[in-house]
Amino acid sequence: MAAINIIKTEKIVNLIDFSGRNLKTMPVFLPNSTTDLNLQENFIQSVPVWYFRKSRKLKRIDLSYNSLSMIERDAFAGLVELTHLDLNTNRLTTNSLPVDIFKGLTSLEELAINYNYDYNDNSYFQSEISLIKSLVSHKDVTWVTDLYDKLKPKGFELCLHHKDFLAGVPIAECIVKAINSSRKVVFIITKDFLESSWGSYEIEMTRMHAFREGRESMVKVILMDDIRKDKLPKSLKEIWYKVVCIVWPSDTEAPYNTAEIFYDKLCITLSDGRMRISDDNTPM
């Protein structure tokens, strides 16, 4: 039996190299601490849905030059640290990859999928990944995830790009669909959001939908990073008089200015659009 190449750094397994082993299935042994997995030049035919469930630290996966004809839905779910995925030179077709196969890979920087039956040009997938990454920065994703965890137990369902947007569907289409199907739209205004090329687009689409459907009160704004109103996008300023705004507390030691009170007021605004919150988080 051929030896398995394992590189250890400070007694933690980082890279496992199974390349050129004539494997027909995914290897059984994969330490939880693995960050780099090289499986190129084998005869692997499929990736089971359960395979990476205990390997959450993976950053790079190379499955190029195999015989992959199927990757099961959610096979890559939970790999939030994955930055590079190489699927070059396999037998993948349109039916081999579920449309949401890359959903949740918020750290993915490079996807190689050339030289497959139906994916000889991966520029479309690369552009989709770039757009997904531009929607919410890594810092904002962490904060939004915490927000989701706070609101879900209170009965709120949130549509989040990294959770609900489907790979293979244009980002603009996903945005419009999410707006049209949502009862409220919450804009979390951070410095990174203002720098995003998609921030203004999302606001403009929401503004058009809100006025067309007579739902101006659907827009909620959370201001962070001590952003002043004069720095807001023009399309948001135009509907500011209809917007419910809550300011994230910058000084949590100040009375009546805590995260707990912030979440209470947010729940009120999401439940009842008639309530107005002033810039100092007090009801008006």
Helices (H), ranges, the chain: 123-135, 138-151, 161-164, 171-180, 191-195, 199-212, 234-237, 259-271
Quote the tokens at residue 69: 């004809």
* CB environment 215-252: b (16+ within 10 A), e (fewer): bebbbbbbbbeebeeeebbebbeebeeebbbbbbbeee
Question: Which is nearest to 59 in space by CA: 73, 79, 75?
Answer: 79
CATH fold label, 1-121: 3.80.10
Task: Give the pTM.
Answer: 0.51
pLDDT of residue 244: 86
- pLDDT averages per 10-residue partition of the chain, 284 residues: 39 77 90 91 93 90 92 88 88 74 77 69 49 53 82 84 66 78 86 73 80 79 85 84 85 70 87 48 42
Domain boundaries along the sequence of the chain:
1-121, 136-271
pLDDT of 83 reads 86
Taking alpha carbons only, the member of 269, 280, 278, 187 closest to residue 235 is 187
* CA pair distance 43, 90, nearest whole angstrom: 9
Q: What is the DSSP string of 132-165?
A: HHHHS-HHHHHHHHHHHHHHGGGT-----HHHHP
Q: Does domain 136-271 have CATH number 3.40.50.10140?
A: yes
The alpha carbon of 135 is separated from its chain's Cα centroid by a whole number of angstroms, namely 8
* pLDDT score of 253: 63
pLDDT of residue 19: 92
Is there a contact between 54 and 46 (Cβ–Cβ < 8 Å)? no
Q: Please report, to the nearest 10 degrees, the dihedral formed by the alpha carbons of residues 262, 263, 265, 269 taken in order.
A: 130
The whole-number pLDDT of residue 38 equals 94
The one-character DSSP state at 248 is P
Quick one: which of 13, 6, 24 has its CA closest to 55?
A: 13
